[in-house]
Amino acid sequence: MASFQILVIGSINVDFTMRTSRFPGPGETITATSCTKELGGKGANQAIACARASRPGPEGPSSIDVANIHMIGAVGSDSLEYLESLASNGVNTDKIKAHEGKVTGMAVVVVSEATGENNIIITPGANALVGPEILRDIAPPVPDLIILQLEIPLETVLDVIYTARRQGIDVLLNPAPAPAPAQLLQIQDASKALAHLVMNETEASILSGEAIGGEGQQEEEPLKRLFKKFKGLGVRNTIVTLGERGVCYSTIGSDYVRVDAVKVKEVVDTTAAGDTFVGYYAVEVVKGKRNNAAESLVIDIAVTRANRAASRTIEKAGASPSIPWMNEVDQVKEMD
């Protein structure tokens, strides 16, 4: 199969992850059981997920043989070693700018050992310097897909979406962190230029204006309204991840499809599950498009594969270190 190109435009963070027996209450101080420092940021995590989705393992052939994964972002002069980490995973870092005198974005991640759930606080740092002029630096070949999140300035995200539309490039938006109320109309207006909108239930609730949750009809009806809304706005494929309840999605040919969650041995840390889903989904979508497969079938395959990959992620601690390689996902069995 001919090689393809995915361009990830987004954040690069230094993650400080603290594991605790539980989350602290307001005004309460508790002691962490461990603290680690590692590469993170939604952009970096999703780029690594794309690369690992097309590479058997760390000792396998380079993902560049199959998938050219490029990233555009920014770091401070304090974290150049993280560019090496990205490159070692098969991500091309030529367009990542290191800003002298600036600090790299940072995230404090608190993980509850009881549930594997997390709370995250970020400070943008150099991510705030990823400006709307970045697409002028893109040289051929044109990417098959551009992936965006919301940890870089919204102005940049919107500019990339509209520029990509003019150039006929498919865009996947992961609207995370969840947008502020003042940003909702801008994002909804830009939706007409999206091929893929991938979000979790919190982000879906904010974008739709109603609670997404519950069981049975209580969950299904709000999701169907959300899918109808974004299909009406022009989004070709809308995907909502629901954690332990699985994934629901809508395509041009299907109004509502549900995929169950995959059984896991133990939920250790959910931090990079969403980013893993995005990366694996993106690779499968581009592969299917290159093979001229019907888009509805491609999305079915992509969601199933991404769901399996995310199930492996939550069995490990950390953000980027927990993202599985292709061979690890091949070993996952679906839920009975």
Q: Which structure tokens are listed for 208? A: 């739709």
Rounded Cα distance, 130 and 167, in Å:
20
Q: Which structure tokens are listed for 134? A: 């970045």
Which member of 275, 300, 330, 336 is catalytic? 275
Question: Which among 47, 40, 13 is positioned nearest to 282, based on CA atoms?
Answer: 47
Rounded Cα distance, 108 and 14, in Å:
9
- Is 137 marked active-site? no
Sheet holding 170-173, edge to edge: 91-99, 67-76, 4-9, 145-148, 170-173, 196-200, 237-241, 247-250, 257-259
Rounded Cα distance, 194 and 234, in Å:
7
Other beta carbons less than 10 A from residue 177's beta carbon: 14
Rounded Cα distance, 197 and 205, in Å:
14
Please give the C-alpha separations between residue 94 and each of 13, 91, 138, 163, in angstroms, as whole numbers: 17, 9, 11, 21
Question: Which residues partner with 173 through β-bridges?
Answer: 148, 197
Active site residues: 275
